[in-house]
Structure 1
Amino acid sequence: MSVKYIPVQWNKNKWRYNAVMLAGVAAFLVLFIYVTPGVLNHDRAITPQIHNARAFGACAFIMLTVILCIGPMARLDRRFLPLLYNRRHFGVMTTFVALTHAGYVVNWYFAFSATPKFEAVLSANTSFGQLAGFPIEALGLFALLCLLVLATTSHDFWLKFLTPPVWKRLHYLIYAAYVAIVAHVTLGVLQDQQNHLLTFIVIASAACVGGTHLAAWRMDAAETRLQASDAWVTIGDVAQMREGYARIGLLPDGDRVAVFLLEGKLSAISNACAHQNGPLGEGKIIACLVTCPWHGFQYDVLSGRSPAPFTEMVPTYRVRVQDRAVQVHPDANPPGTHVDPIPLAATPEPEVMT
């Protein structure tokens, strides 16, 4: 499948992913609004509008925390990969929840302002030189604008139009949004209470995001150091290869390679789909074609080429078996280069055909 011919369609996994996400959002809001007011123990009585605003704000914060943890957790443990496949849906839903929070705030705090309410959001408080009473509205607005940009550009059209490198850099805005939200909450609601439950949640959430990213970075750095001593990179033992499946390895330059065992022979291609960097090593192989689990793009594991009439291509790699170790040379062949597969027990280097 290719965006040039067939639009990406929803499937059962996408519907299931979104159903579970919506159920989680609904459960959080019900718990916050109806079950835990006594546990939250607000220092002074608040109106239902403020309570609803805090409920949606807290939900958006937790959702964004989960989103930022999915990537490193998937690198640390492959069982988290299904959560990664449709993470963009999670981000769009988070944006709608954050917009609802902003709507409650604007329509309650600024609806009767002498100036237009949207203008009053930024003009009512300009005490930027102090922590107590800092204008957290500016932080919240910045975070919301970041989320809106990410949600708007999440469609495949923008990935194609902006090119994957630019699109990826643009979506790093999610980290700036998260920092702004942490500051927004810390300088806002956390200064207005004596109960430290929300304080603990905010600190634990931020620590979880930082901790998972640090752990994933250390794991990748350790693998890179181990592989740097040899030009050929060991992907695993021959006993770890399974017929019809791939074993994914990290190369010294940070790229990932997928080594497939098909009909007793080894082939290696880039693990990143040309469409949106989906994990090809997680896909199914049918008639020498691996299907990307994200959006269904297919590639020949011998050449890295999509079947005609599609034109997508990914790099291929040389493979060898050395002392029962499956190894890949880190220098990638140009996308679409055919490489003869080698028997799993073979030791000579494969021939590269141009």
Structure 2
Amino acid sequence: MDTVLVLTIGVVVFALAFDFINGFHDTANAIATSVSTRALKPRTAVYMAAAMNFLGALTFTGVAKTISKDIVDPFMLDKGSVVILAALLSAIAWNLITWYYGIPSSSSHALIGSIAGAAISAAGFGILNYGGFLKIMEALILSPFIAIAGGFLVMSLFKVILKNRNLFKANKRIRYMQIGTAALQSFTHGTNDAQKAMGIITMALIAAELQTSDDIQLWVRIAAATAMGLGTSIGGYKIIKTVGGKIMKIRPVNGIAADLSSAAIIFGATLIHLPVSTTHVISSSIMGVGSAQRVKGVKWGVAKKIVITWVITLPISATMAAIIYQFLNLFF
């Protein structure tokens, strides 16, 4: 069998594996607040998230097109299949390491950093599409700050609305509303995160000259959505524990405020075809909500560890991908 075809098949397999791992790694963030407030039982939340992620992944393709052409031009990439395979192996390795330690790191940062690192290792810094790459980086950097502000504002609004209400009764009603916001959160996660694997597969198909445009084929969309849904059904309880309880003590009103603000930001990014880190956005929204309620109520030590992981993910994944590319290049 032709080497390029073998590499392309390898890319498809590992891209779907990345989506599967992303399902139980990142999707845990989307349901963490509803599980921690006991609005949903963990197993019920996981299955609901799996279904909503699948639907979200099938609905949009704009982010996939951004991933496929805005970091590196696949039409200009020599040994493109090797580059993409190295990037996937790096991103998967980093996701598994952070999942093992229960740290909610960013799959988006890991993947984008890995693509850049592998491409630079193959062809130098000139291979990057700097206009598109910087646009993606701006979205990744700014979205957590917008999420903190959004969480703070929504929670402040809820405090005004519920000022003269019986908090026990209000929290009881809001807990039921959290089922809807958790579903919305999972849907928006699918609209953004699942598309990253679609973009990677499309890059590989272009590099192998199996397609000549950046259109996302139907089988790619279905395969990526299925992998994300299956991964979600496995669940990511370590991440749920960190996001749902270790950043702050979450009550139903906090959970719904965090869900609404983060879902709006993620879906907004999807509509303008920009990838964002759902992990960053959701965790930052929770920090914003906690700050609005009581600054000292946020466990800033845990938040600091999460932020450090956010910062180091991109350079570490880029370095890992560069090394993996050089290793694969010995054989291909």
- Alignment TM-score > 0.5, same fold: no
Which structure has the larger Rg?
1
TM-score after normalising by structure 2:
0.30
Name the one with the larger strand percent.
Answer: 1
Does 1 or 2 have the higher relative contact order (CA < 8 Å, sep 6+)?
Answer: 2
Name the one with the larger helix percent.
Answer: 2
TM-score after normalising by structure 1:
0.28
